[in-house]
Amino acid sequence: MTGHEPLRRCVGCGRTAPRRSLQRWVLDGSALVADPAGQLPGRGAYTCRAQDCYERARSRGGFNRAFRRAVQVPPTAPAGLESSENVHLDTA
Ligand SMILES: [Zn+2]
């Protein structure tokens, strides 16, 4: 089967999307850090590249569930995430 891409689930909104279209996150100690290249080792969590999903995952404990521990999530999303309008526009 050609063109198959691994799918990952956004821990913010719960939608499933191709891994490369999502933002990967990893832990540095207990702190959440972005992994823009998707190459950092260890367990990863994914969200849409949207501020909304980051906020939702942070406020609802999505990151904690994904990593199965208490994660220190920065209150402000790192640069690089877009508004949800741009991200979700063509994926409804
Ligand atoms: Zn999402």
12-69 confidence digits (pLDDT tens) = 999 999 999 999 999 999 999 999 888 999 999 999 999 999 999 999 999 999 999 9
What separation in Å is there between the alpha carbon of 47 and the centre of ligand 1?
5
Q: 27 versus 80: which is more confidently predicted?
A: 27
What separation in Å is there between the alpha carbon of 66 and the centre of ligand 1?
14
> How far apart, in whole angstroms, are the C-alpha atoms of residue 50 and residue 61?
17
> How far apart, in whole angstroms, are the C-alpha atoms of residue 64 and residue 86?
26
Query: Which tokens hold the place of 11?
Result: 């821990």
What separation in Å is there between the alpha carbon of 81 and the centre of ligand 1?
11
Q: Which domains does the chain have, with CATH numbers?
A: 7-76 (3.30.1230.10)
